[in-house]
Structure 1
């Protein structure tokens, strides 16, 4: 890596890490935040949902807009919006201003994450690209854990407002460094945005996510109808937002399915184990954070190792292996007891599971963005960002509802964790079959990155 590439990487990975921290930084301080702005206890979940809805619903549209109008421009606009939204949130005195700030932070995430990731995939090539995506996966995953720990520390030492204000100087530094480090990317002659497709896909995603969060049947039906309309529009549009030929590619289709399972199951597991630690084992929030924080160190190692493993074994094998480890590491958690001796099993299982989780994240990102030209990397990374945000948003409500069938007590947590394991391992088999090489493959050593690239284009 050249010195300039290192600085580019520092800016792009730093932005992604900060955004992943933002997702969870307020989760440990919801009562304090609600009390600070006069938000009722029943409305506290909307502090997270107001962020998650736009972050998930607008990722695909903004990813494509980066292809058409400039990724650096969109990246900078997102960081500026994040700084303003964070300032608004830190100064909020009422629930309306607070929720507006969280929604704007989510919108900034939808703008910045796809643009930043596509800048990575077009700036770095070959084995270096896979190693960089490995670091990106490690930091994105670690950011959720750091957000919880940092949120608790800031609230304890200062105030919940500090969780907003901390973003402002970081965003300003990134805004100052980016123009001199990163060149603008633009697709000549393609400046038309598929507005009907953008409206229907965004509306459909927002309606479906809202339906899952609020268990609202009518919203779910509206979401399905809008997404069906989006598919029909894309089939007929002369300049589609997401060309169907790309959506049908095995790497894009199965890669994003894998990402959905990865990001639905692991955050939901963390949520369930948090309930177990605090409700069953009676641990404090700080002790709970440490239980997750120590195994979280596996994320860093996995990010480095996964990038190298991809170059040797290929995306299909590494993706399947990572998801298998993630699923099998969750299995012992189904049999945990009600004594604190269970921590002797829990902590090593989390360490192994986090390693598999981050490995799978890296392989999913590489798989879902492989074989596409630079001019469509914004679309590809928009899809992966959308998949990630939607999965994180709906995973906890879905498995939380499974646990609630038995009262969200210990038995309910066990049932939900069992579903988690079954879905993850069954998905490994589907993905392994879906990503199988088309035609006759040589029985030699794993292919080089260049050969895999050509194979992806043929597929």
Structure 2
């Protein structure tokens, strides 16, 4: 089937995948699922890693920070590099780095080697995620096919976050924390063997120069911003280090905007940043990732600190959330076809807000699982409607030459949302924790979570509605 025929099918609202489309989808979804698993798989294993390598409890957070800094800080740069130098090339190089870093992490004999491996894993994630997403959006023309592909991608990504929490507990309990690293190696190797024969290279015939001043300012700005957020979560929002990093990050990002106004070939054209769909879509996506990932943190606290569940039992309890996200992602394209992206953002946000608000009734005793499990299931469905609609909105109406930049922006939004949520909610829990009970603090944080979801839902009202889009 030629590209012209595929475009004609898409224009007629086709939803049928060709054989090649299916192969491309499988390769890219396996890679994205692995990245999502890798993000969450170490959370349960952290205490075991600390004991195994002699890393003090207060320093365990650097295992997460070492990953989050490059994963968020370099994603926009790598998204643009994918546009300029080849998306398939960067995708394969990133996967090779991820496999090597995972092997090094599993073999690490000291904290320093482990942290270095986590930095490399973060860099690999920053390269593979936008490159993989832009390969997906350029392989599937705008319309029902792309919406369906993005829906499946979002479903497996969210399912990967949940599967990582469960798999981390199982591997740590039955084998060793080192297998939380080793599990990536055969998957990365398998994708590397198959992908070159399935994925087509895509890059411009005339390659513009890379905007180095813009790349430096935005990367350093994002690194400082993420460092400030993670330090605030560890030491409090009044920490001098956190405040200094946040101010430095804000200053560098303002400098980035000034650089882009004068750049001949800007890293992110200001015309893109002025597009209402791109800006509002990314804001809605930021809130969607921030609220759902931080809610998992809050419910982990509830299950372990209030109900007394083990780490493995708490992880297994999130299986219903994983089912909800898979259902939401797999049906999102049909919802978008019926309601449009604007309507889907509204419907998904209201469903997520209502399900999260129900959690305000949680109390002591395992009987409350009868409320928690269906609420997290429905919240997962609603959250995935929002995430898929966000991805469609943030990547629509842009030429293929800018898809790496667009998916880089979307991935940056995702990583910052994931990073911001837990420190904010952790600080809220600490302000209301009463004696030995964290339940009042959890309730306050859940209430703020609901308010943020509703604020994100209101953003959808600002989107223009040309027909059903």
Report the TM-score range of the alignment, normalised by the length of the smaller protein.
over 0.9
Q: 2:24 maps to which residue?
A: 8
> 5+ unaligned residues in a row in structure 1: which ranges?
453-459
CA deviation string 1:369-404 (max 9, x = no partner)? 111010100000000000001110111001111111
1:368, distance to aligned residue in structure 2 (A): 0.6
Distance 1:317 1:127 in 2: 16
TM-score when scaled to structure 2?
A: 0.92
Which of the numbers 37, 44, 66 marks the counterpart of 1:50?
66
Q: 1:275 maps to which residue?
A: 301
Q: Where in structure 2 are the equivalents of 1:336-351 lying within 5 Å?
A: 336-351=362-377
CA contact (8 A) 2:287 2:456 kept: yes
1:295, distance to aligned residue in structure 2 (A): 3.4
Distance 2:35 2:253 in 1: 27
CA deviation string 1:276-321 (max 9, x = no partner)? 1111111122221221113321221111110111122211110121
Question: Structure 1 residue 299 and structure 2 residue 325: aligned?
Answer: yes
Distance 1:403 1:112 in 2: 34
Distance 1:311 1:160 in 2: 44
Distance 1:433 1:342 in 2: 35
Question: Structure 1 residue 260 and structure 2 residue 286: aligned?
Answer: yes
Q: Which runs of 4+ in 1 moved over 3 A?
A: none
Q: Helix, strand or coil for the counterpart of 1:27?
A: coil
CA contact (8 A) 2:218 2:253 kept: yes
Query: Structure 1 residues 305-314 or 236-245, which shifts more?
Result: 305-314
1:42, distance to aligned residue in structure 2 (A): 0.4
Q: 1:197 maps to which residue?
A: 214
CA contact (8 A) 1:59 1:114 kept: yes
CA deviation string 1:222-262 (max 9, x = no partner)? 11110000000001111100011101101110000001000
Question: Structure 1 residue 355 and structure 2 residue 381: aligned?
Answer: yes
1:122, distance to aligned residue in structure 2 (A): 0.6
Distance 2:308 2:173 in 1: 20
Distance 2:455 2:23 in 1: 41
Distance 2:250 2:326 in 1: 38
Q: Where in structure 2 are the equivalents of 1:121-136 lying within 5 Å?
A: 121-125=137-141, 126-136=143-153
1:138, distance to aligned residue in structure 2 (A): 0.2
CA contact (8 A) 1:69 1:191 kept: no
CA contact (8 A) 2:320 2:376 kept: no
CA contact (8 A) 1:201 1:230 kept: yes
CA contact (8 A) 1:71 1:119 kept: yes
Distance 1:298 1:394 in 2: 23
Q: 1:183 maps to which residue?
A: 200
Q: Where in structure 2 are the equivalents of 1:86-165 lying within 5 Å?
A: 86-125=102-141, 126-165=143-182
Question: Structure 1 residue 433 and structure 2 residue 450: aligned?
Answer: no
Aligned residues: 440
Question: Structure 1 residue 225 and structure 2 residue 251: aligned?
Answer: yes
Q: 1:457 maps to which residue?
A: none
Q: Helix, strand or coil for the counterpart of 1:314?
A: helix
Q: 1:455 maps to which residue?
A: none
1:155, distance to aligned residue in structure 2 (A): 1.1
TM-score when scaled to structure 1?
A: 0.94
Distance 1:213 1:332 in 2: 29
Q: CA RMSD in A?
A: 1.1
